[in-house]
């Protein structure tokens, strides 16, 4: 086996391997958008986070602006504390609404930010004052049935 | 009857003893391998040669099998997802199965049977024909000159082969899902991009393949070096390389998966 | 037989694998510049002795020195320095099967020196010419006959002009012509290189015509030594049996077994 030829084939092999890795990075996972660059942290308290998970997306107007970094339970009032990493480029007003939403009917859960009108912006480490918890399907159905039943008895 | 029971227990103890003894030998061998690796890195050409034999020459089998696995994933995934009306998530399913599990695992299994067995055969035959001993008598350390380059050639090839496996597999899934069945192309790719995380899914897969590469290459060179220098001895070593590699890959995969993807 | 200038000095050397004794109380002196044969029947520990001299095995007892340095006590780096000065021909040549004849001979030169490729080319052709195989430089080892492979291995063993050349059964499995060729080469190389040669063999007649001195081994012990003429005339029954190729003598033709008649009877009794 010619040495030069072998070197060339090994070079080809390495190039193909890295091309495959590049394909996985750019085409299969879109490394550019999942990489947030510089971030700062914001917190929010929820009564119930439903199926929200670490690394779940934080979206504003449907655009991913951050990821869930940590989820913990406050031992005093039993509320969930969700820490988010938010892209440095985006700042949000103090009265922004953070709610836990579901993409599609059965999709993953994410935090949606509804922008308020306050002039003041949230500083790194601060807490969203206004939040809305996840909607738990069973509770929703329970409420619906209860109110239907109540309607029924009212009519009689 | 108690005599037979006794001999069965003794046999069990004996084979257990053997297993641990060989594990000890392998660990000592690995230490020696690492110690002489520096010498062989100074002559990287030797390792390049081994990358050619174990990496480049495994390309074809990787390409063909990954394409087929991707296409099967596309077919089966579509069948199942369609029942829940979420055929758009086909890309996610194909990409995650490949990058997290099938890419590293199947590529390593193929690598063990394609390259691992030939590494064992080559070293074993060199031992059987006294080539290793001759080298040693020429004041050339056979571990630095023959074993370490083969080991590192395998270790370096494995992540590249696994990446390639995943990439071609995804392409196979695309071919079946989008081109033949008609899943929406935009949904296929964008859902995949939304759900697959580079650092979490792909990078962990690469780490897995790296670990498998170390395991398979070590088993292959050890079995070759430890072979009984006869025709039967070498063939038994090759068999052990393939069997032990497969078991090790699957067991390690379980361990790594439980560490990497726990809590999700 | 004390020599003033001995290259190898072995004194009361013992070697055993676990509890199987291979060498017992072996003492030898190999003079510089001479061609010495170690003879004996198969499995008498001759090959083990070579590996002990090369430092690939460690003796369980006794003293072994090459050029004044004790081999078992050497650190690996010194051992490798010693081995660079030793050329060894293995029983079946042990050529590297994945490279050509030329590359095989060039192998030790390329590994141990930084000579430019043109000089290596000249050196290799010289060595191949000495064994008469300059024309076979492009062949692969699998294309060579047994005798040719042995000669290529010989060229490789002397590629670095060693001061000690060891041959492990160089005549095994060769036709008479190849045997004669190898024998002549061994003598010629020893004299031309001014090297010391250690020849392990059981081809007594072939070797007795070549060498300067003979050690006779049997069952892991040295049973006789002397010049070829002394050996030919020796009265020792083992040596006599060996030199004259008798099937049975002090060395039994039969592997140890119970008496034949008794064994036959037992077979019948079992049936």
For B177-196, the pLDDT digits (tens) are: 999 998 888 888 888 887 88
Residues paired with residue B2 on neighbouring β-strands, in sequence order: none
Say if residue C219's pLDDT is above 90.
no
Give B149 or C134, the one with higher predicted confidence.
Answer: B149
- Over residues B61-118, the pLDDT tens digits come to 999 999 999 999 999 999 999 888 888 889 999 999 999 999 999 999 999 999 999 9
Looking at chain B, which residue has its C-alpha nearest residue A108?
A: B195
Taking CA atoms, C66 is separated from C7, C54, C225, in Å, by 6, 9, 20
Chains that touch C (3 or more CB pairs under 8 A): B
Q: Could you give the CA distance from residue A138 to residue B31 in angstroms, rounded to a whole number? A: 58
**pLDDT at site B163:** 95
Say if residue B251's pLDDT is above 60.
yes
Inside any domain, residue C134: no
Inside any domain, residue C166: yes
* Count of C-beta atoms within a 10 Å radius of residue C96: 17
Give C255 or C147, the one with higher predicted confidence.
Answer: C147
Which chain A residues contact residue B95 at CB under 8 A?
Answer: 28-29
Do the chains contact at A25 and B201, CB–CB below 8 Å? no
Confidence class of residue B212 from pLDDT cuts 50, 70 and 90?
very high
Q: Could you give the CA distance from residue C231 to residue C211 in angstroms, rounded to a whole number? A: 12
Percent of chain B with pLDDT over 70: 99
Inside any domain, residue C100: no
The two structure tokens encoding residue B178: 């989008």
Which chain C residues contact residue B136 at CB under 8 A?
Answer: 56, 83
**pLDDT at site C1:** 43
Do the chains contact at B140 and C86, CB–CB below 8 Å? no
| Owner of token pair 């009984």 | B228
Mean pLDDT of the C135-143 span: 86
Do the chains contact at B189 and A27, CB–CB below 8 Å? yes
**pLDDT at site B174:** 94
Q: What is the domain-level CATH number for residue C196? A: 3.40.50.300
Which chain C residues contact residue B131 at CB under 8 A?
Answer: 94-97
Q: Is A77 in the same domain as A131?
A: yes
**pLDDT at site B147:** 93
Percent of chain C with pLDDT over 90: 0
Q: Using only the alpha carbons of chain C, give its radius of gyration.
A: 21
Confidence class of residue B233 from pLDDT cuts 50, 70 and 90?
very high
Inside any domain, residue A57: yes
Q: Is A20 in the same domain as A89?
A: no
The two structure tokens encoding residue B236: 């038994």
Inside any domain, residue A59: yes
Q: Is A30 in the same domain as A91?
A: no
Domain range list for chain B:
34-253
Which chain B residues contact residue C88 at CB under 8 A?
Answer: 134, 137-138
Residues paired with residue A85 on neighbouring β-strands, in sequence order: A41, A67
Please indicate if any CB of chain B lies within 8 Å of the CB of C80.
Answer: yes
Chains that touch B (3 or more CB pairs under 8 A): A, C
Taking CA atoms, B24 is separated from B17, B90, B127, C189, in Å, by 11, 46, 21, 45
Mean pLDDT of the C99-107 span: 90
**DSSP assignments along chain A, one per residue:** --HHHHHHHHHHHHHHHHHHHHHIIIIIS-HHHH---SEEEEEEEES--TT--TT-EEEETTEEEEEEEEEEE-TTT--EEEEEEEETT---BTT-EEEEEESTTTS-EEEEEE----SSBPPTT-EESEEEPPPPHHHHHHHHHHHHHHHHHHH-
Question: Which residue stretches of chain A have pLDDT < 70?
Answer: 1, 30-36, 104-107, 154-156
**Whether C66 contacts C53, CB under 8 Å:** yes
Q: Is A95 in the same domain as A19?
A: no
- Over residues C169-190, the pLDDT tens digits come to 888 877 888 888 888 888 888 8
Q: Could you give the CA distance from residue A16 to residue B58 in angstroms, rounded to a whole number? A: 13
- Give residue C215's domain range: 3-85+162-270
**pLDDT at site A156:** 52
Q: What angle do CA B18, B23, B29 make, to 5 degrees?
A: 125
**pLDDT at site A154:** 65
Q: Is A65 in the same domain as A19?
A: no
* Count of C-beta atoms within a 10 Å radius of residue C217: 23
- Over residues C14-26, the pLDDT tens digits come to 888 877 888 888 8
Q: Is A30 in the same domain as A42?
A: no
Q: Using only the alpha carbons of chain B, give its radius of gyration.
A: 22
Give B263 or C265, the one with higher predicted confidence.
Answer: C265
Enter the pTM of the model.
0.80
| Owner of token pair 């037979």 | B4
Tally of domains in chain A: 2
**pLDDT at site C2:** 46
Tally of domains in chain C: 1
Inside any domain, residue A145: no
The two structure tokens encoding residue A126: 């601060």
**pLDDT at site B162:** 95
Mean pLDDT of the B169-176 span: 94
Say if residue C74's pLDDT is above 60.
yes
Q: Could you give the CA distance from residue A10 to residue C76 in angstroms, rounded to a whole number? A: 34
**Whether B223 contacts B240, CB under 8 Å:** yes
Q: Is A48 in the same domain as A106?
A: yes
Cα-Cα-Cα-Cα torsion A77, A83, A89, A95, nearest 10 degrees, comes to -10
**pLDDT at site A139:** 80
Mean pLDDT of the B221-245 span: 93
Inside any domain, residue C81: yes
- Give residue A107's domain range: 36-136
Say if residue C203's pLDDT is above 70.
yes
Do the chains contact at C80 and B141, CB–CB below 8 Å? yes
């Amino acid at each position: 086996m010619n040495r030069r030829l072998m070197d060339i084939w090994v070079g080809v092999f390495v190039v193909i391997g890295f091309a495959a890795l590049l394909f996985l990075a750019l085409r299969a996972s879109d490394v550019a958008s999942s990489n947030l660059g510089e971030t700062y942290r914001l917190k929010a308290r929820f009564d119930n986070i439903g199926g929200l998970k670490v690394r779940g997306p934080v979206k504003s107007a449907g655009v991913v602006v951050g990821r869930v970094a940590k989820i913990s339970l406050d031992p005093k009032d039993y509320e969930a504390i969700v820490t988010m990493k938010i892209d440095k480029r985006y700042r949000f007003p103090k009265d922004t609404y953070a709610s836990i939403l579901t993409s599609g009917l059965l999709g993953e859960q994410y935090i949606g930010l509804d922008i308020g009108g306050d002039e003041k912006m949230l500083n790194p480490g601060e807490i969203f004052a206004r939040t809305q918890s996840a909607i738990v399907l069973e509770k929703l159905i329970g409420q619906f049935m209860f109110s239907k039943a109540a309607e029924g008895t009212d009519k009689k | 009857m108690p005599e037979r029971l006794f001999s069965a227990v003794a046999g069990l103890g004996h084979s257990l003893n053997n297993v641990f003894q060989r594990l000890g030998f392998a660990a000592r061998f690995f230490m020696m391998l690492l110690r002489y690796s520096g010498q062989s890195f100074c002559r990287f050409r030797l390792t390049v040669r081994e990358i050619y034999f174990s990496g480049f020459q495994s390309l074809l089998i990787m390409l063909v099998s990954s394409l087929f696995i991707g296409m099967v994933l596309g077919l089966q995934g579509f069948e199942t997802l369609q029942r829940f009306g979420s055929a758009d998530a086909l890309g996610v399913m194909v990409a995650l199965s490949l990058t997290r599990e099938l890419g590293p695992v199947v590529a390593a299994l193929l690598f063990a049977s394609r390259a691992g067995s030939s590494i064992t055969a080559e070293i074993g035959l060199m031992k059987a024909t006294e080539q290793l001993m001759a080298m040693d008598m020429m004041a050339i350390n056979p571990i630095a000159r023959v074993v370490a380059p083969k080991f590192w050639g395998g270790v370096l090839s494995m992540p590249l082969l696994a990446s390639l496996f995943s990439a071609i597999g995804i392409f196979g899934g695309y071919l079946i899902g989008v081109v033949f069945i008609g899943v929406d192309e935009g949904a296929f790719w964008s859902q995949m991009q939304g759900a697959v995380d580079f650092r979490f899914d792909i990078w962990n897969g690469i780490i897995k393949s790296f670990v498998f590469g170390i395991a398979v290459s070590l088993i292959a060179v050890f079995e070759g070096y430890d072979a009984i220098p006869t025709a039967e001895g070498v063939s038994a070593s090759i068999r052990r390389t393939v069997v032990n590699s497969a078991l090790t890959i699957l067991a390690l995969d379980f361990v790594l998966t439980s560490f990497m993807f726990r809590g999700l | 037989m004390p020599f003033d200038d001995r290259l190898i000095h072995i004194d009361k050397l013992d070697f055993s694998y676990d509890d199987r004794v291979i060498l017992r109380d072996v003492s030898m002196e190999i003079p510089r510049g001479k061609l010495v044969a170690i003879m004996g029947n198969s499995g008498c520990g001759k090959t083990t002795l070579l590996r002990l001299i090369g430092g690939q095995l460690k003796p369980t007892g006794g003293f072994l020195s090459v050029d004044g340095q004790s081999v078992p006590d050497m650190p690996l780096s010194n051992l490798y320095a010693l081995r660079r000065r030793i050329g060894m021909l293995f029983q079946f040549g042990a050529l590297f099967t994945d490279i050509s004849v030329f590359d095989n001979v060039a192998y030790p030169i390329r590994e141990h020196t930084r000579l430019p490729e043109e000089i290596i080319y000249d050196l290799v052709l010289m060595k191949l010419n000495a064994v008469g195989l300059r024309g076979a430089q492009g062949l692969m080892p699998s294309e060579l006959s047994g005798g040719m492979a042995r000669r290529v291995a010989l060229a490789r063993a002397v590629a670095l002009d060693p001061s000690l050349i060891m041959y492990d059964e160089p005549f095994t499995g060769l036709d008479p012509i190849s045997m004669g060729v190898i024998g002549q080469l061994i003598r010629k190389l020893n004299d031309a290189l001014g090297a010391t040669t250690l020849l392990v063999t059981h081809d007594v007649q072939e070797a007795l015509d070549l060498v300067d001195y003979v050690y006779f081994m049997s069952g892991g012990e040295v049973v006789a030594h002397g010049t070829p003429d002394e050996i030919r005339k020796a009265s020792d029954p083992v040596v006599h049996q060996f030199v004259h190729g008798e099937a049975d003598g002090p060395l039994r033709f039969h592997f140890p077994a119970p008496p034949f008649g008794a064994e036959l009877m037992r077979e019948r009794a079992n049936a």
